[in-house]
Amino acid sequence: MNELNILYFGMLTDITGCQKESFQIEGNTPISELKILLESKYPPLKEVEYKTTYNRTLADDNLPITDDAEIALLPPFSGG
């Protein structure tokens, strides 16, 4: 099992009720499966678009999660 630190930003903190939490997940689980677990814990996540970072880099959903990873969920943002 891997211990993850999951960070939530913007409106995602309202959905989850927290800015940070620890989460246990099997080694080499892809980010897509983590998102399914988080969306089952926090169903409103299914209704919003968000990006995922893995150790502070935007991550593809197929990326496997390794030991002591930091995952962040970022809400939609616009630039200009």
Domains (ranges, CATH) in the chain?
Answer: 9-74 (3.10.20.30)
80: pLDDT strictly greater than 60: no
How many angstroms separate the CA atoms of 30 and 27, rounded? Answer: 9
Give the predicted TM-score (pTM) of the model.
Answer: 0.89
Query: What pLDDT digit, counting tens, does each position of 8-49 carry?
Result: 999 999 999 999 999 888 889 999 999 999 999 999 999 999
Q: Which element (helix H / strand E) includes 37?
A: helix 31-41
CB 34 within 8 A of CB 61: no
77 three-state secondary structure: coil
How many angstroms separate the CA atoms of 80 and 73, rounded? Answer: 21
Q: Please report how many Cα atoms fall inside a 13 Å half-sphere around the Cα of residue 11, on the Cβ side.
A: 10
